[in-house]
Amino acid sequence: MAGTPRRMRPLRNIYAKIAAIPMVLTALVVFVGGTLWTVTYSFTNSKLLPKLNFVGLDQYERLWSNSLWLTSIQNLMIFGILSAVLTITMGFLLAVLMDQKIRFEDTFRTIMLYPFALSFVVTGLVWQWLLNPDLGIQEFVRGLGFATFEFDPLSNPDTVLYGLLIAGLWQGTGFVMCIMLAGLRGIDEDIWKAVRVDGIPRWKTYIFVVIPMMRPVFITTLVLVASGIIRLYDLVVAQTSGGPGNASQVPAMYVYRYMFTAQNLGQGFAASTMMLLSVLIVLIPWAYLEFGGKKNG
């Protein structure tokens, strides 16, 4: 540990302390302060302007009896589970394919990863256009002679989430693939020599040797994907605006809608506090697994 003070003196490392002021302020004022502020005001009946008029758990009671919120949660669960499972499975499979000493690896990777450089707004608009029933894929296939072909996920409340999923996967799998590939490349080459000597088939090696070894990578990816999903906002706004009806509403939209459109800040804060809670549910077990045994740093 270079620079670790041997004796505690307040003036020691004074420049380092001054230099760290932005970080300390961000951590304390914005992240801790902002969170506490929002949580506190979630117990008030603030309307358009925040007011400290406490009403106990009223906002939370109303939140959990509001069918729009319940729909949002349900949508997020369906989208989240499918999206997490599919991005990770596809990302891993693609990484395995990419790890077969293939030619043009850079080209393939470039192709798979470029959507990640685009914003969700761009992604949402492109897929809205591709899934447009009158002009997009449906019309194209019909033009090929399949007159009854139906592929119109965005206008049907039952399928709109899958429409979002197609766009979400398009944007995100390349990224997961890259992390997985880094994980695969991180595995000791001796393992491959050993299994080759033992004559174990390749697929078995992946399932029984590689995947268990990559457990931390999978967990990290899951945490990353999950925290991204909880925040899901831009994509939905650009692709469906939460429609048709409320069929693709998500919690982040609910927060925004109640904070600003309905002029009910208290309700919006209560909803965002629930979002924070769900992040903690994902994060704390992970932090425990990750940092639990060993010392941080």
Window 43-82: residues binding another protein (CB under 8 A): 47-50, 62, 66-68, 71
Window 21-40: residues binding another protein (CB under 8 A): 22-24, 26-35, 37-38
For residue 244, say if its preceding peptide bond is cis, omega within 30 degrees of 0: yes
- Please give the Cα distance from 40 to 56 (Å, whole number): 10
List the x/- string, 234-253, binding to another protein by CB under 8 A: x--xx--x-xxxxx----x-
Among 86, 113, 209, 222, binds another protein (CB under 8 A): 113
Supply the minimum distance, in Å, between the C-beta of residue 212 and another protein. Answer: 13
148 binds another protein (CB under 8 A): no
Using alpha carbons only, give the angle 106, 179, 200 rounded to the nearest 5 degrees: 90
148 versus 189: smaller Cβ distance to another protein: 189
Supply the minimum distance, in Å, between the C-beta of residue 153 and another protein. Answer: 11
Among 64, 85, 110, 281, binds another protein (CB under 8 A): 110
Among 60, 82, 99, 222, binds another protein (CB under 8 A): 99
5 binds another protein (CB under 8 A): yes
Among 109, 151, 218, 222, binds another protein (CB under 8 A): 109
Tokens of 296: 């941080």
Window 200-219: residues binding another protein (CB under 8 A): 202, 216-217
Burial class (CB in 10 A: 0-12, 13-18, 19+), 108: middle
Bridge partners of 201, per DSSP, are none
12 binds another protein (CB under 8 A): yes
Among 82, 84, 126, 222, binds another protein (CB under 8 A): 126
Supply the minimum distance, in Å, between the C-beta of residue 152 and another protein. Answer: 8
Among 11, 52, 198, 296, binds another protein (CB under 8 A): 296
Among 57, 207, 262, 281, binds another protein (CB under 8 A): 262
Among 8, 11, 52, 197, binds another protein (CB under 8 A): 8
Among 57, 78, 102, 281, binds another protein (CB under 8 A): 102
161 versus 217: smaller Cβ distance to another protein: 217
143 binds another protein (CB under 8 A): yes
Among 76, 130, 164, 236, binds another protein (CB under 8 A): 130
Instruction: Give the up-direction half-sphere exposure of residue 72: CA atoms within 13 A in the CB hemisphere.
Output: 28
159 binds another protein (CB under 8 A): no
Size of the site for another protein (CB under 8 A): 140
- Please give the Cα distance from 154 to 73 (Å, whole number): 19
